[in-house]
Amino acid sequence: MSDAPTLYPVRPDFAAHARIDHARYEHLYAESVRDPDAFWGKVGQRLDWMRAPTTIRDVSFKQQDFRIRWYADGELNASVNCLDRHLATRGDKTALLFEPDDPSQPARRVTYRELHARVCRLANALRHLGIGKGDVVTIYLPMIPEAAVAMLACARIGAIHSVVFGGFSPNSIADRVGDCKSKLIITADEGLRGGKKIPLKANVDAALKLPGTNTVETVLVVRHTGAAVDMQMPRDRWYDAVVDGQSDSCEPERMNAEDPLFILYTSGSTGKPKGVLHTTGGYLVYVSYTHEAVFDLRDDDIYWCTADVGWVTGHSYIVYGPLANGATALVFEGVPNWPDSSRFWQVIDKHQVTIFYTAPTAIRALMREGDAPVKSTSRKSLRLLGTVGEPINPEAWRWYHDVVGDGRCPIVDTWWQTETGGILISPLPGAIDAKPGSATKPFFGIQPALVDANGQILEGEAEGNLVLLDSWPGQMRSVYGDHQRFIDTYFKTYPGMYFSGDGCRRDADGYYWITGRVDDVINVSGHRIGTAEVESALVAHPKVAEAAVVGYPHDIKGQGIYAYVTLIAGEQDNDELRKELVAWVRKEIGPVATPDHLQWAPGLPKTRSGKIMRRILRKIAENAPDQLGDTSTLADPSVVDALVRNRRQP
């Protein structure tokens, strides 16, 4: 691998037809930071406004007069921008192309006209059920077209949606429903993934027995697998029954640009997951523009993003960005390795996918299966590949490029976050030479900087913490119900700057290389898990006295979850209890948070003030006991020896 190229220049054949070439990128970037009002004013015109904005940018990251407002006097409706405005020109174009979990079941196409009608029917039904502007609707659905229908129906009537990933447990649903005081939940009887059934309705039932969830008046249930489920009348209603008979036109709510569009819960370094709040105008401008520019979108593209709508990638780059752009987006219910590890590539051939956007963890898992499952398919339709969710290691990047893309397709490695709404750092495929493992250069209007621990901005080649010096339209606006937490979490560490929580290096060419989280967030297969969440799940078990959780390098998942557990006095550790605790965390949070390794810890390394020294625990988990560093400030240095002796052997 040592002689493998480190630079993949823009392909001239790609650049020749690309929307943005190198010169145009440089020109537009300079303009976007010199005069953001003019730049974003112009970009904002890509949407249909009910009232065109006259103010574009109104931002201060300073504590005293903190505000983030974009297009603040504009009015629009997101569903109108994703649906109605396409009807005249693209009514019969496929909006959503649904590929079910089971490949023997037929794929389904939903045209823009049908999607519009389905969204209107559900929107009318929701209004009929008493849902209106500002109410919160929780969506807990599998990857089926109804997920997009539900999101857009909320947008149509000004309700705020909160999508909860189908892999979360009843406890996690209850936490999220309780936090945002949801009035209605849209779910399905069951989900399907890799041939396995996921009891979505039963999970909702269990969640609604938990305290704090009594705001929920109605549960709409999509009949998906046809499984028998408990229906508790009058709370539970079949989706079909309430939607059938509704009119397929629905007057859209006039929304202010800064009215909330959705909440999405994400893990941070402390406490419970926070409800990241995105608003309507700036978000939609930003996701539609980045989707078009980064993926060099053309009208005849078949675009496939493999994310789940339960994560921000599904919100921005399956639903809102692509549909605002009138694109055809593939919605895939299944998994990469079922019925076999050729599934992704078979789906690409079946639907003639041209743009494919997935996560490094999937690439690494499939790479491990060798080239044959890829080579048995054509993939000739592909013209562009993308990745998101975590740093991609150069080996996986090259395999993706050489084997999946046959050396023919550029790769866009897109860095962004739930909080950023859309892509902030990424190559534009016709403009920026790629380097495997680097997200390369900032998007228009994005001003990244690296700072040291004291907040000093580092110039030139440097490594530090990644901050953003100025706002962009897709930026989150608040933590739902706790605006101060928003300011404290993101703007206090380095006053006047947005702190991403990521570490990053900038090379001599000005390319950005994200090195991973520098806070107590673990990135497991591209899913963010707060160490504090796993710890509080563990200590909720009656036999656990204390727990400390860290991330460690994992070949496929990027990072794995390593839990150190101290039992209460008198409890005996054994393999059975270990399994029980792992299952307990799965049940408390969901399968995404399953610890990969659980080590018994008679004691945890703590400072004299009682703070757990995670630095040491991370080194032990990494199997690097020779790099523990200074342990002299520990209250009891001897606990470290015991942990080192009993550490995981890779």
Closest distance of CB 123 from ligand 6R9, Å: 28
CA distance 249 to 647: 62
101 is in an annotated binding site: no
623 is in an annotated binding site: no
The burial class, CB within 10 Å (0-12 / 13-18 / 19+), for 492 is exposed
CA distance 345 to 379: 7
Do 73 and 88 touch, CB atoms closer than 8 A?
no
Closest distance of CB 312 from ligand 6R9, Å: 5
539 is in an annotated binding site: yes
CA distance 611 to 563: 17
345 is in an annotated binding site: no
- Give every CB contact of residue 592 below 8 A, 6+ residues apart in sequence: 165, 167, 168, 524, 525, 527, 529
Closest distance of CB 523 from ligand 6R9, Å: 5
CA dihedral sign, ordered 495, 499, 505, 508: negative
Task: Give the nearer residue to ligand 6R9 in terms of CB position, either 327 or 423.
Answer: 423
502 is in an annotated binding site: yes
Please list the helix, strand and coil fractions of the chain in percent, rounded to the nearest 5, in that order: 30, 25, 45
**Residue 648: how many CB atoms within 10 A of its CB?**
15
342 is in an annotated binding site: no
Task: Give the nearer residue to ligand 6R9 in terms of CB position, either 279 or 414.
Answer: 414
108 is in an annotated binding site: no
Closest distance of CB 358 from ligand 6R9, Å: 12
Closest distance of CB 419 from ligand 6R9, Å: 7
Q: Which of 573, 76, 585, 590 is nearest to 285 (CA)?
A: 76
Task: Give the nearer residue to ligand 6R9 in terms of CB position, either 125 or 263.
Answer: 263
313 is in an annotated binding site: yes
CA dihedral sign, ordered 498, 502, 504, 510: negative
533 is in an annotated binding site: no
Q: Is 10 helix (H, G, I), strand (E, B) or coil?
A: coil
Task: Give the nearer residue to ligand 6R9 in terms of CB position, either 307 or 327.
Answer: 307
Task: Give the nearer residue to ligand 6R9 in terms of CB position, either 44 or 530.
Answer: 530
**What residues form DSSP beta bridges with 463?**
505
Residue 187 amino acid letter:
T
Task: Give the nearer residue to ligand 6R9 in terms of CB position, either 112 or 444.
Answer: 444
Closest distance of CB 199 from ligand 6R9, Å: 25
CA dihedral sign, ordered 68, 70, 74, 78: negative
What does each C-alpha distance from 461 to 74, 464, 515 come to in angstroms?
41, 10, 15
Which helix (H) or strand (E) covers residue 484, if one does? helix 483-491
The burial class, CB within 10 Å (0-12 / 13-18 / 19+), for 93 is middle
Task: Give the nearer residue to ligand 6R9 in terms of CB position, either 466 or 537.
Answer: 466
User: Structure tokens of 347?
Assistant: 């789906």
Closest distance of CB 122 from ligand 6R9, Å: 27
495 is in an annotated binding site: no
413 is in an annotated binding site: yes
391 is in an annotated binding site: yes
Q: Which of 559, 633, 560, 645 is nearest to 601 (CA)?
A: 645
Task: Give the nearer residue to ligand 6R9 in terms of CB position, either 125 or 164.
Answer: 164
334 is in an annotated binding site: no
Task: Give the nearer residue to ligand 6R9 in terms of CB position, either 121 or 477.
Answer: 477
> 379 in the Ramachandran plot: left (φ > 0), alpha (ψ -120 to 50) or beta?
left
608 is in an annotated binding site: no
Closest distance of CB 54 from ligand 6R9, Å: 32
How do strand 302-305 and strand 274-279 relate by DSSP bridges?
Answer: unpaired
Task: Give the nearer residue to ligand 6R9 in terms of CB position, either 311 or 443.
Answer: 311
Closest distance of CB 147 from ligand 6R9, Å: 17
Residue 346 sits at the vertex; the CA angle it makes with 341 and 350, to the nearest 5 degrees, is 165
415 is in an annotated binding site: yes
Closest distance of CB 28 from ligand 6R9, Å: 22
Task: Give the nearer residue to ligand 6R9 in terms of CB position, either 326 or 386.
Answer: 386
Closest distance of CB 526 from ligand 6R9, Å: 6
**What residues form DSSP beta bridges with 450?**
458, 466
User: Structure tokens of 643?
Assistant: 């942990």
Closest distance of CB 243 from ligand 6R9, Å: 31
CA distance 548 to 595: 12
| Footprint on this chain of ligand 6R9 (rule: CB under 6 A) | 266, 311-313, 388-391, 413-418, 439, 500-502, 514, 516-517, 523, 526, 528
The burial class, CB within 10 Å (0-12 / 13-18 / 19+), for 198 is middle
Q: Which of 299, 295, 298 is nearest to 287 (CA)?
A: 295
Task: Give the nearer residue to ligand 6R9 in terms of CB position, either 101 or 413.
Answer: 413
Residues annotated in the binding site, as ranges?
Answer: 193-196, 313, 337, 389-391, 413-418, 502, 517, 525, 528, 539, 541, 544, 586
Residues annotated in the binding site for Mg(2+), as ranges?
Answer: 539, 541, 544
Residues annotated in the binding site for ATP, as ranges?
Answer: 389-391, 413-418, 502, 517, 528
Residues annotated in the binding site for CoA, as ranges?
Answer: 193-196, 313, 337, 525, 586
